[in-house]
Amino acid sequence: MLIAGNWKMYKGSAETAEFCLGLREQELDGVDVVVCPPFVSLAVAVQLLAGTEIAVAAQNVHWDSEGAYTGEISAPMLRELGVYGAIVGHSERRQHFGETDETAAKRAHAALEAGLFVIACVGETEAERERGETEDVLRRQLSVLEADDNLVVAYEPVWAIGTGETATPDSAQEAHAFVKTLLDVEVLYGGSVKPDNAAELLSQPDVDGALVGGASLDLDSFTEICRAAIRS
């Protein structure tokens, strides 16, 4: 079981330090825990979580190792900092920053080549779900990825992200099982995972963990979700 906290554009270095010092004190044996702070907070997170089993990942990564790409960060730069992995293709990147299946795949490929662990996000929008296109969308988004020991997929139905609406455990299970028919990888569920719904979602046979946004920002709720994973 893997629980990853996607902090999005929250927590600068001071808040990151406070969170990581608190996280260090928690007993979290039996679950793989990853935090994904903003780029500027990665260094302090790496420093303060050194010597623990908790890993630090970035929220994005560029496909070239260096070059004229203003505002981007490369996989070797993340590696140099001691960062362990990266999220790619998050729906907010797709929605606001022009990310496509192809650019997400390029990022995933470069990150894996550089030795990073990758969480690749997929998921349908509400309109796509209503039109019955969920499987077509997942097939298209996954067609550009190849299975790899260091790759996990996060199934995040876009209509469930930050909305408080969660896929039912049955529909999450169904989507996860479908993803696994296309790619032999572990699959995390993401979309309004909270302490009170985590146990039920994580008990589904093909739910291998969670990518948690809002509820990962608070130490107590994040560790409660980690504990639900340990029990499941």
Q: Within its chain, how far is the Cα of 24 from the centroid?
A: 20
| 12, 30, 115, 162: which one binds ligand PGA (CB under 6 A) | 162
| 1, 2, 3, 6: which one binds ligand PGA (CB under 6 A) | 6
Helices (H) and strands (E) in the chain — how many of each?
Answer: 10, 8
Binding range to ligand PGA, per CB under 6 A, among 67-75, 98-106, 141-149, 190-198 = 190-198
Which 207-226 residues touch ligand PGA, going by CB under 6 A?
211-215
Quote the CA–CA distance of 57 and 64 in Å, as a whole number. Answer: 18
Per CB under 6 A, does 38 bind ligand PGA? no
Size of the site for ligand PGA (CB under 6 A): 13
Binding range to ligand PGA, per CB under 6 A, among 11-19, 111-119, 155-163, 197-205 = 155-163
Closest distance between ligand PGA and the C-beta of residue 210, in Å?
Answer: 8
Angle between helices 13-24 and 42-49 (to 10 degrees): 20
| 31, 83, 193, 207: which one binds ligand PGA (CB under 6 A) | 193
| 16, 141, 192, 221: which one binds ligand PGA (CB under 6 A) | 192
Instruction: Kindly provide the residue ranges of all beta strands, DSSP E only, lying in the chain, ordered along the sequence.
Output: 2-6, 32-36, 55-58, 85-88, 117-122, 151-155, 186-190, 209-212
Catalytic residues: 90, 156
Residue 37 or 190 having the CB closest to ligand PGA: 190
Quote the CA–CA distance of 77 and 61 in Å, as a whole number. Answer: 9
Q: Which two tokens stand for residue 155?
A: 């199934």
DSSP code for 17: H
Task: Find the angle CA(165)-CA(170)-CA(171) to the nearest 5 degrees.
Answer: 60
Per CB under 6 A, does 5 bind ligand PGA? no
Q: By CB under 6 A, name the binding residues for ligand PGA.
A: 6, 156, 161-162, 190-193, 211-215
